[in-house]
Structure 1
Amino acid sequence: MSTGKSLWGKWIEENLLRKKSFWEVKSKTQIGSWMWRKLLKLRDIAKTFYMKEIGNGRHTFFWYDKWSDRGALIDILGERGIIDMGIGRESTVEEASYLLWIELQDGANVRIQYVSSIWGSLVKGILKETYTNEWKDIVIWISDEKMERMRLFCIRYAFQIALYTLWRERNKVRHEKKLMPIEVLKKLVDKGVRNKLSLMRSKKVRFMEKGLQFWFSTRL
């Protein structure tokens, strides 16, 4: 709705959403038609089968879109989460990811190790000699629509699960809690990807029939 190129989509974005997420707009608004207000009231039902593909993250709201299998972060963490994390209410996944990535890279050595170890364990076998943890290169990879679809999905999903995991561990540091051992964390994120690919295979998702096999072939 917010990324469509139709005149209707652009009109909604400019006049009804006003730079906000569809999931953020208050349902008791007087703006828009009866049909628009009806759509807003049906959002809780829509959330049960809605999932946003991150892509490059530029059109995905960090807090309000359901880009993680765990659900929309605003539903999990509430308003307090926005304050605790220091990530703006209207931030996109791209903006939030950049802030998190830079913060972790600029932090203590143990946090830098976390970023390199988790990201590397997920995608080194896929990217091989082109691997790096530089943000500008990661954006290029997850934005490359010309890449073979199965490979692209694995990189994007690995990025998604790495982001969520690193964000969770970063919050532990903020609350003076112990980080999960790095080797345990590696197994956890790998299992998360395998579970997703296994589910897609069972559902016979097009182009992903051999996704799990491909993933195993890239493990170092």
Structure 2
Amino acid sequence: MVFRLKRIWLFFSASGSLWVPWLKHNRFRDKNFWLVTDSPRFSRTVRSMLQLRDSLSDYLRCGIGDGRTASFWFDYWTDLGPLFSLFGSTDPRQRTILLNASVADAVQNGHWYLPPARSDFAETLQIILSTLTPPTDNNGKDIFLWRSGPTGGFTNKFSSKVTWELLRVTSPEVTWHSTVWFKDKFRDVPSSLG
């Protein structure tokens, strides 16, 4: 699971890999990662990435720069989390913001541009957005961040070790652990039992 998550990190972090632009252009046909439908024509690697989309909000955040890369509905760029999980599939049509919209698409003339609120959630969204500076080209590119530990911090680097620690279920230490585990090897259990 850690290595599947790392591939997703590479996809979002603009790692410089040739694989990422090739995947975006040739497999996803320049569609948003969140909107691509899983298909048997995709490799096992790509399908495994798509199957993890629902769990990414625990690990992946987006820092807004120019707002052109971040998905308005699906990336975790506000304190509310992915907005699609709050508003559902019907509200984006009512709000006139397309599902494939970037954060920059919700800005006009340097200000947030949203129609009047029609629900409590929409009003909450407008209140949250009013506290955020709208993205501009002067802010540089959007950056994606990965969870850096159990306390909730995020960094611009992926750590397999930290991700593994976040994923694994820890069990209490058993009294016989020293019989099996050593610092650099493990013991031949049958010979130690006599």
Q: State the TM-score, normalized to the length of structure 1.
A: 0.46
- After superposition, what is the alpha-carbon deviation per residue over 1:115-143, rounded to whole angstroms, capped at 9, x for unaligned? 9xx56xx88xxxxxxxxxxx8xx614423
Q: 4+ residue runs of structure 1 moved beyond 6 angstroms?
A: 202-206
Distance 2:108 2:92 in 1: 16
Distance 1:16 1:66, change over 3 A: farther
**Partner in structure 1 of residue 74 of structure 2:** 64
* Cα displacement (A) at 1:57: 0.7
Task: Provide the aligned length of Structure 1 versus Structure 2.
Answer: 123
Q: What is residue 136 of structure 2 aligned with on the other side?
A: 139
Name the structure with the higher helix share: 1
In structure 2, distance between residues paired with 1:96 and 1:62: 8
Per-residue CA deviations over 1:68-111 (Å, capped at 9, x if unaligned) read 2211111111111111110122111112223893747xxxxxxx
Give 1:3 shift.
6.5
Q: Tell me which residue corresponds to 1:54.
A: 64
Q: What percentage of residue pairs aligned between the two structures are identical?
A: 27
Tell me, in whole angstroms, the C-alpha distance in 2 between the residues paired with 1:95 and 1:84.
16
Q: C-alpha distance in 2, partners of 1:81/1:18? A: 26
Change (3 A) 1:76 1:90: same
- Aligned residue among 32, 36, 59 for 1:25: 36
CA apart distance, 1:204: 8.0
- Structure with the bigger RCO (C-alpha within 8 Å, sep 6+) is 2
TM-score by length of 2: 0.51
CA contact (8 A) 1:56 1:143 kept: yes
Q: Residues 49 and 144 from structure 1, CA distance in 2 versus in 1: closer, same or farther, beyond 3 angstroms?
A: closer
Tell me how large the CA RMSD over aligned residues is: 3.5
Matches within 5 A, 1:1-220: 1=11, 4=14, 5-27=16-38, 29-98=39-108, 101=111, 103=113, 139-143=136-140
Bigger share in strand: 2
Which structure 1 residue ranges, 5 or more long, are not aligned? 105-113, 124-134, 146-201, 207-220
Query: Unpaired runs of 5+ in structure 2?
Result: 1-10, 115-125, 143-150, 156-194
3-state SS, counterpart of residue 47 of structure 1? helix
Q: Which has the larger radius of gyration?
A: 2
Shift in CA distance, 13/140, structure 1 to aligned 2, threshold 3 Å: closer
Contact 2:67 2:102 in 1 (8 A): yes
Question: Which residue does the alignment assign to 2:192?
Answer: none
